[in-house]
């Protein structure tokens, strides 16, 4: 269902990608919009700057358009809260992928559909995470899992350990090497650090 804005209303788009490498243009490609808000952030909660800006910007008569339910919220509670808040303010909410529009005058069946589809999306994400964990476990067992790229090259790590052992302050070394103190501990455990360097 394609929603039509009320007279004077605007079509406001919201786009979310979870990393800077993802293409934001594909989500609402070809959709006629008056203004778009884009977040490059995780959807683990609703505390996203552009989402909050969009929610403050929309007005009675506007249409709030999102590519899909999982781009707006990762869990059913947040999804329903946002949709209900917007529709109570006179804003229509449209999900392009699911081809669903919520207006505030929705029937019980429409509200149930929102809950069911939101729950299915949440379940699919949890299954994806479980498959990722299983894949990592199998890769580790097979000895092919590399994990995250090390913060320091072997040469830099050796230099760091040598300077710690020479008594240099680890706080200053962490800043110089561009790593956290926790990471520094991994390269140079406390047992290897002279008392004079533990400040």
Instruction: Just list the catalytic residues.
Output: 18
Task: Tell me the CA distances in angstroms from 133 to 62, 75, 136, 137, 140, one per residue in order.
Answer: 41, 20, 5, 6, 11
- The alpha helices in 14-99, defined as continuous H runs, are 49-57, 69-72, 76-88
Q: Provide the 3-class DSSP secondary structure of residue 14.
A: strand
Place of tokens 């884009």: 38
**Cα gap 63→65, rounded to integer Å:** 6
Place of tokens 């609402």: 28
Question: In the numeric block, which tokens belong to residue 121?
Answer: 């999306």
Over the range 134-154, which residues count as b (16 or more CB within 10 Å of their CB) and which as e?
eeeeeeeeeeeeeeeeebbee
């Amino acid at each position: 269902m394609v929603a039509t804005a009320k007279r004077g209303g605007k079509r406001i788009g919201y786009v979310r990608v979870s990393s800077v490498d993802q293409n934001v243009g594909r989500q609402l490609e070809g959709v006629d919009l008056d203004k778009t808000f884009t977040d490059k952030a995780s959807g683990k909660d609703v505390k996203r700057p552009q989402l909050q800006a969009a929610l403050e910007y929309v007005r009675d008569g506007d249409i709030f358009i999102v590519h899909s339910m999982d781009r707006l919220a990762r869990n059913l509670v947040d999804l329903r809260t946002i949709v209900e808040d917007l529709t109570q303010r006179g804003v229509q909410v449209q999900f392009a992928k699911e081809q669903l529009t919520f207006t505030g005058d929705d029937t019980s069946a429409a509200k149930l559909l929102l809950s069911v589809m939101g729950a299915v999306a949440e379940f699919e994400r949890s299954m994806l995470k479980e498959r990722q964990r299983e894949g990592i476990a199998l890769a580790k067992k097979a000895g092919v899992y590399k994990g995250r790229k090390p913060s320091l090259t072997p040469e830099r790590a050796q230099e760091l350990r040598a300077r710690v052992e020479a008594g240099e302050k680890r706080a200053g070394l962490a800043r110089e090497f561009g790593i956290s103190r926790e990471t520094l501990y991994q390269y140079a455990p406390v047992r290897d650090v002279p008392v004079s360097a533990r400040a």
